[in-house]
C-alpha cells in the first residue's frame, strides 16, 4: 500500500485508505474538490496532500542526465569528486600514510581509545590543521568543536596553534622563494578565532545541537570539520531504557552522516572504551555497543603497544587495516621519535 509510505499524518492516511485510495496512481487523476468531498476535509488540506503525493512520485520518474534515480550519483562522478577532495592532515606523517593522506571529508570517522591516549589531543590538532590555507596544502576551513566532557583546554589549543604557525613559517622559508617567504601570515590567535566551541551538558543538548548543525553550517559555509569529544559521555549514564538509547544514537548517527555528505565536512567522533566479553574472555572495545559500531564509516583505535602509542584502522571501506605509531608532544600530534631513525620499507 503505497499510501502508507507517504509522510502524512495517521488520520489523513486512514481517511485515504477508507475512501479506497491505496496507491499513488489512483490519486493522480482526481480533482481536488472531488477528493475533498469524498474525504470530508477542506480543499486546502487536500491540496497539501496532493502536493506531498506528487513530490513522492516525482522521485520515481526517470530524471534527466545519467541518473536513473533522482538525487543519486554514478560511481565515476563520485571518483572524480573524491580525487579533488583535500584531506585533513594529522601532522603525523605515518598516521597520514595509513589514512591515505589524512582524515577525509564527506565521511564520519570514529576514533576511540583508553583515557590518556591522546584522543582530545588529536581532536584539537585536527581543529587547528583544518585551517591550514590551501597554498600550504590544507583546506583553509573552520572547525566546530563540540565538547561533552569538558576536556578541552584552551591553553593547549593555543600551544598547538602556535606550533602550527611556527611550522608554516618554517615551511614557507624553506620552500617558497620571493617576497612572501618567511612572512608570518597566520597568528595563533587567528587559528583560535576560527574554532567554534560548543559545550554540551546533557544528551538532549547533544541531540538538539546535531539537529541545529545543519542550519549553523549553512550560515557558516567555511566549516570543514565537526569534532565531537566525546560522543559517548552523556549516553553512558542515566539511561534506563537501552532501546531508547539505541534509537537516539542511530538517529544521531544518520544525521551526522547526512551532514558529512551534504556539506562535504569531515565528522570526527571521539569515543571511549569499555570492556566486552566474547570468545570466552574479556577485552577492550569501543563504547556504546554493537549497534553504534555501524554508525561510522571509518574507525580508528588508539592503543598502547609497549611504550608507544599506536593508531590502528579497525574498520574502513577503502583503507587497508594497518597500524602506525604516533606521539603526543608539546607541539601536538607528531611522528613517533623512534621512527625517525628507521629505514622505510615499502
Interactions with other proteins, residue window 277-316 (CB under 8 A) = 278-279, 281-285, 301, 303-308, 312, 314
**In the complex, what is the shortest distance from the CB of residue 170 to other proteins, in angstroms, rounded to a whole number?**
22
- Name the grid cell of 314: 579497525
Provide the pairing of β-strand 273-278 with 281-286: antiparallel
CA angle, residues 227, 320, 297, in degrees to nearest 5:
35
**In the complex, what is the shortest distance from the CB of residue 24 to other proteins, in angstroms, rounded to a whole number?**
16
Closest by CA position to 92, among listed 344, 282, 346, 337: 337
Near other proteins in 30-49, by CB under 8 A:
48
**Would you give the binding string for other proteins spanning residues 164-203, x where CB under 8 A is met?**
-------------------------x--xxxxxxxxxxxx
Nearer to other proteins, 79 or 241 (CB): 241
Nearer to other proteins, 2 or 48 (CB): 48
**In the complex, what is the shortest distance from the CB of residue 247 to other proteins, in angstroms, rounded to a whole number?**
6
Closest by CA position to 332, among listed 158, 135, 98: 158
Near other proteins in 215-274, by CB under 8 A:
215-216, 230, 232-234, 236-240, 244, 247-248, 251, 272-274
Phi, psi of 99 (to 5 degrees): -90, 0
Location of C-alpha cell 544521531: 252
Nearer to other proteins, 87 or 236 (CB): 236
Instruction: Choose the stretch contacting other proteins; rule: CB under 8 A; options: 20-28, 66-74, 177-185, 206-214.
Output: 206-214
**In the complex, what is the shortest distance from the CB of residue 244 to other proteins, in angstroms, rounded to a whole number?**
7
**In the complex, what is the shortest distance from the CB of residue 61 to other proteins, in angstroms, rounded to a whole number?**
21
Position among 29, 275, 340, 346 found at the interface with other proteins (CB under 8 A):
275
Cα(336)–Cα(93) distance, integer angstroms: 9
**In the complex, what is the shortest distance from the CB of residue 101 to other proteins, in angstroms, rounded to a whole number?**
23
Nearer to other proteins, 117 or 172 (CB): 117
- Residue 2 touching other proteins (CB under 8 A): no
Cα(334)–Cα(332) distance, integer angstroms: 6
**In the complex, what is the shortest distance from the CB of residue 43 to other proteins, in angstroms, rounded to a whole number?**
17
- Name the grid cell of 310: 599506536
CA angle, residues 190, 143, 122, in degrees to nearest 5:
100
Complete DSSP assignment for 48-112: HHHHHHHHHHHTTS--STT-SSTT---HHHHHHHHHHPPPBP-S-HHHHHHTTSSBPTTSEEEEE
Nearer to other proteins, 53 or 172 (CB): 53
Position among 89, 104, 120, 125 found at the interface with other proteins (CB under 8 A):
120
Task: Give Cβ neighbours of residue 141 (< 8 Å, ≥ 6 apart).
Answer: 130, 131, 222, 223, 224, 225
Nearer to other proteins, 7 or 71 (CB): 7
- Name the grid cell of 278: 566474547
Nearer to other proteins, 116 or 137 (CB): 116
Amino acid at each position: 500500500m503505497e499510501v502508507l509510505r507517504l509522510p502524512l499524518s495517521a488520520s489523513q492516511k486512514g481517511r485515504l485508505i477508507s475512501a479506497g485510495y491505496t496507491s499513488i496512481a489512483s490519486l493522480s487523476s482526481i480533482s481536488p474538490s472531488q477528493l475533498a468531498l469524498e474525504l470530508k476535509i477542506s480543499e486546502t488540506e487536500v491540496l497539501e496532500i496532493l502536493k506531498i503525493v506528487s513530490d513522492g512520485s516525482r522521485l520515481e520518474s526517470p530524471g534527466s542526465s545519467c541518473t536513473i534515480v533522482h538525487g543519486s550519483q554514478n560511481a565515476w562522478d563520485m571518483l572524480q569528486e573524491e580525487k579533488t577532495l583535500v584531506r585533513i592532515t594529522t601532522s603525523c606523517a605515518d598516521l597520514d600514510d595509513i589514512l591515505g593522506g589524512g582524515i577525509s571529508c564527506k565521511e564520519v570517522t570514529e576514533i576511540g581509545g583508553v583515557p590518556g591516549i591522546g584522543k582530545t589531543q588529536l581532536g584539537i590538532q585536527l581543529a587547528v590543521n583544518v585551517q591550514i590555507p590551501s597554498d600550504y596544502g590544507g583546506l583553509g576551513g573552520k572547525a566546530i568543536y563540540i565538547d561533552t566532557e569538558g576536556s578541552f583546554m584552551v591553553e593547549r589549543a593555543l600551544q598547538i596553534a602556535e606550533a602550527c604557525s611556527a611550522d608554516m613559517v618554517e615551511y614557507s622559508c624553506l620552500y617558497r622563494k620571493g617576497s612572501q617567504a618567511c612572512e608570518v601570515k597566520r597568528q595563533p590567535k587567528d587559528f583560535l578565532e576560527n574554532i567554534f566551541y560548543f559545550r554540551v551538558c546533557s544528551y538532549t543538548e547533544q541531540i538538539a545541537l546535531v539537529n541545529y548543525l545543519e542550519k549553523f553550517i549553512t550560515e557558516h559555509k567555511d566549516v570543514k570539520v565537526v569534532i565531537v569529544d566525546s560522543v559517548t559521555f552523556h549516553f553512558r549514564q542515566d539511561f534506563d531504557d537501552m532501546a531508547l538509547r539505541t534509537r537516539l544514537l542511530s538517529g544521531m548517527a544518520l544525521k551526522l552522516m547526512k551532514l558529512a555528505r551534504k556539506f562535504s565536512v569531515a565528522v570526527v567522533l571521539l569515543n571511549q572504551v569499555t570492556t566486552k566479553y566474547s570468545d570466552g574472555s574479556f577485552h577492550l572495545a569501543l563504547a556504546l555497543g554493537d549497534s553504534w559500531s555501524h554508525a561510522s564509516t571509518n574507525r580508528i583505535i588508539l592503543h598502547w603497544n609497549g611504550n608507544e602509542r599506536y593508531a590502528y584502522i579497525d574498520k574502513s571501506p577503502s583503507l587497508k587495516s594497518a597500524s602506525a605509531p604516533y606521539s603526543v608532544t608539546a607541539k601536538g600530534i607528531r611522528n613517533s621519535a623512534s621512527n625517525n631513525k628507521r629505514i622505510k620499507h615499502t
